[in-house]
Structure 1
């Protein structure tokens, strides 16, 4: 992230000064200006828009496809888009044209067309769901996120070292390109597939039957509009029929919190780095160390802190994990992590030095526990056969966040950087405050039924078993 931000800054800076017929040698010392940051922020908004819209359409379809072809091929497909995007970035940087940076938009197109990180995380979570029972799912999701943040911890620090040794920001992208090729090879040829052959065959048969059924139905305008509706996967978050109102309400609250947190993450990191470089004079090296510190804390929180806290909280509610709904540990962790993020962004706004800014970021990194906890809690609100659809719907929400959040935060930063740079952190504070409010409304342990009918029948059975029987008349 940090090398990419600085690469964009240098490329756009070069264009700006070329347009004004100023010597390129002056660019390096004049890039850290409010005007340059505003232009980078606006360009990043365009990249996020292209990438996010396409990923929002493609990611849910890849999630459904993973039931038919397996999780590993979908992981490889999503990685190929990132590989192409990285290659285009290298080519754009090497271009002799001052406007060569615009090719980055093409790379964003390819990344969006393969679902990007949203499809990759949905496939990874589906893989974990296939292999783990509900009570261990939060820990499994946590390990996936811990691996992600461990990479975020090692990558920026190593990238900063490479930049320092080689004197070229592009060296980090060469290494990233090789790592992406290695990832594709591993998921295709080494990692075992989690979806059984029989399950894939059943899913393919169901897909064929569904296609044949739709083929014989009359083609109406409603059917046509429904095909165009890319928001259709979100219906899983608004279940109807016999689903209990309490379950439906919890699902919508948890999905709202997850959306707000993902939105903050999607729109926040680039703005945070730009602000630190503008205010404290950070370079790619300091920004890389900052991201490494955050990634380390998040990974430590998911691998060490999360299992410890979950084990302690489970002792307070030993049977909560076996019921429908968020357990006591889920609700407590979600509320705690949203408060940590809220306090962290208040700290960002108040920080007077780079060290204070980094300490605030360390506190916010503890909030990385929230995402796997939220998604694990959501899987307890749907039947097992609907988990894939649920995670596909969440991936669509995440894609929408990558469209809207960067546009909002990049616009706020672009228009406030010249007169009050800290204004962006107040926007984040409002967002996390809303997430915490939603967290206070989540109800824990909704008994042992998702559907109203089952719930009524079980309640009636319990009443019959507990009610005293009338005395039978004696025979005379």
Structure 2
């Protein structure tokens, strides 16, 4: 089941065309990621699984960049001046794959059908897993095994009505579910950070293979438990013991958390810098489309051909996915980045002193990158600086640094803490299903319809309603309407140089021959800095929007769980309606994943980030959340079963408060830039000239038509260029 969820966070995406326009990005959809939320081991109650991330649009300034790595990118205004695409940014991490043939070029199109297939497979086994776990509990407690007592391989008989009526059987089935969740979750938390680092050195496809291999092995074990008599499984600890072994294997190979991290890192590799939330949400929509179809299809298949038939289908789907990751799926990390990561790892190994304590803490090592870090004084940028300094960086961190240098920047830590609290709410899914089954009196078929309904609402919200609302509310053009900032305008890097009066696009309001002349290539370097300024402003704008979106989505979730709490005892209608409406809050993990990427000091740390968040995800969704909510439900199910909803509401409120503490930097914190070069005139020269003498005997005496500094000084615009 983790298979379905794994793809959800997935978001395996890539932008492929060599001259992609904005229309290409509407095909994209981070996992997120995020952000990735794990499902439970018991058929994974994915009706509310926020499988990431990270929902919005790849609202980054522009698209895929230019064809050639040598081509100078243009800012919005300069592109318009040249008659080009005003949205063409520079994305260095995408250029290495432009020259590859289409079958070797990483792109999200490769994985879209498999995301749907794996999600559908996960939905298909939901109800069969319920029956299988209940049968195992029934065999232990009521000793009802029907005709399944021989040593032959055969399909299990239908579930006895006595099993469904026994509270002891239901309690035992729930206990088995929690054991499977913990077996997979704990081991996943201990290993997924290692796989996250491995993905930076060996590539994303390597980690995806490991995760899918774990799902495949677990499928084989589930089939063995379903087909082999219990007596024959005694050497392996019986059916339930063998299921725990299968979950442990899946956890050791990373499980859902590692697959989610791999998918989200793949998205970060193949999409432009900036917010990637929409591409995460697009794949989340694909996943929930599969989950909407899966339960009904699995129920029909199990009814017509036997309980274990859906598991055969899942095994085939996982094997197919494994083959694709081994032989077909292009690697998303460039060879240069892989080699750099390997060299860095070797240096880390040489400098590391191994002790028992450090060895035990290796699984938690990825979390170190989330800790608050000291902030040092920034180095001033020279106008002649080409390629160094923040102003010349393709990616900047949008984290608002403390005013005092050497203080701690805790924004990424705060956001990760908010993500942990929000993701812990996934633990409510298991007792919520128990609430529906035993408080509302639903049977397995009604639960299947409920899961399909919840998945359909997710699909509609993630693919239609939320993107439309985001497009209406975001207004990305506002970020680059004015590129010039108050600190801009110094003609050189000395503090004594006065600031020039600049227009909104960074060009001086007057030009002269002395301003137009300079060393070769200097104007191109300055224009490049202004191009990147537009990108940086867009990053800051998008990050602020991501923060607001996360706050709004989590607040909406809290409101829906408040409704679930106060409508207890009013029947299934409020329960179904409130559950469906929680889909409108599905943007939260996506927005948090997108914001986390923007907070990173380097875009190359995306794999480490999602490796660390996968550890956080595994701990919160597979250990802390399930234990807390199941224990609360077990202690309150007799008198106040709605307590789990109130608890979930409280956690959402806490998460929203924590997110509000994240500080996004202001545009005024960006480095100052020198004046922007004058735009080319129609005849290819710089400046605006009138009444120039023509012909070979033209006089050097010419008049330069200058832009007036202020409108009421129109009469002073005409001056002699040369009085000699």
TM-score, structure 1 as length reference? 0.85
Determine if the alignment matches structure 1 residue 259 to structure 2 residue 397.
no
Match of 2:227 among 94, 113, 119: 94
Give the unaligned 5+ runs of structure 1: 450-454, 463-476
| 1:473 alignment partner in structure 2 | none
Matched-pair contact (CA < 8 Å) for 1:301–1:369: no
CA distance in 2: counterparts of 1:11 and 1:380, whole angstroms:
48
Could you say if the C-alpha distance between residues 417 and 162 of structure 1 is closer, same or farther in structure 2, counting changes exceeding 3 Å? farther
Q: Which residue of 2 aligns with 1:415?
A: 635
Q: Are 1:50 and 1:108, in contact at CA under 8 Å, matched by a contact in 2?
A: yes
Q: Is 1:195 matched up with 2:195?
A: no
Residue 385 of structure 1 is matched in structure 2 by 604
Decide whether aligned partners of structure 1 residues 291 and 248 sit closer, same or farther in structure 2, where only a CA change above 3 A counts.
Answer: farther
RMSD across aligned positions (CA): 3.0
Corresponding residue of 1:15: 140
Among residues 344, 350, 363, which one is paired with 2:581 in the alignment? 363
2:266 is the counterpart of 1:127 = yes
Partners of 1:417 and 1:33 in 2: CA distance: 16
Q: 1:34 to 1:89 in 2, by over 3 A?
A: same
The Cα shift of 1:27 comes to 4.4
1:421–1:16 Cα change, 3 Å: farther
The answer to whether the 8 Å contact 1:409/1:424 transfers is yes
Q: Deviations over 1:67-99 (max 9, x none)?
A: 122111211210111121122122122342285
- Summarize the Cα distance change of 1:169–1:426 in structure 2 as closer, same or farther, 3 Å threshold: farther
Count how many residue pairs are aligned between Structure 1 and Structure 2: 445
Question: Could you tell me whether the CA contact under 8 Å between 2:421 and 2:652 is conserved in 1?
Answer: yes
4+ runs deviating over 6 angstroms: 459-462
Q: Does 1:397 align with 2:616?
A: yes
Task: Give the C-alpha shift of residue 459 in structure 1.
Answer: 7.3
Residue of 277, 284, 291 corresponding to 1:138:
277
The residue that corresponds to 2:474 in the other structure is 314
1:9-408 correspondence runs (5 A): 9-18=134-143, 27-97=160-230, 99-166=238-305, 168-214=306-352, 219=353, 223-229=355-361, 230-242=363-375, 244-245=401-402, 248-265=409-426, 267-315=427-475, 318-319=478-479, 322-324=538-540, 327-349=543-565, 350-351=567-568, 352-382=570-600, 383-401=602-620, 402-408=622-628
Change (3 A) 1:459 1:9: farther
- The question of whether the paired residues in 2 share the 8 Å contact of 1:321 and 1:327 is answered with no
Shift in alpha-carbon separation, 1:198–1:461, aligned structure 2, 3 A? closer
Checking the alignment, whether the CA contact within 8 Å between 1:275 and 1:421 is kept in structure 2 is yes
Q: Give the alignment partner of residue 458 of structure 1, picking from 671, 690, 693.
A: 671
Deviation at 1:14, TM superposition (A): 2.7
Q: Distance between the aligned counterparts of 1:396 and 1:111, measured in 2?
A: 15
2:330 partner SS: coil
The separation in 2 between residues aligned to 1:122 and 1:365, in whole angstroms, is 22
Contact preservation (8 Å) 2:275, 2:539: no
Q: 1:252 to 1:206 in 2, by over 3 A?
A: closer
CA displacement 1:170-192 (0-9 Å, x = unmatched) = 22222211111121122222222
| Cα separation, 2, equivalents of 1:25 and 1:52 | 31
Larger Rg: 2
Q: Which has the higher helix share?
A: 1
Greater relative contact order (Cα < 8 A, sep 6+): 1
Question: Separation in 2 of the partners of 1:341 and 1:61?
Answer: 33
Change (3 A) 1:396 1:410: same
- Secondary structure (helix, strand or coil) at the match of 2:374 reads coil
> Following the alignment from structure 1 to structure 2, what is the Cα–Cα distance between the partners of residues 249 and 308?
33
Q: Distance in 2 between matches of 1:275 and 1:321?
A: 48
Deviation at 1:30, TM superposition (A): 4.2
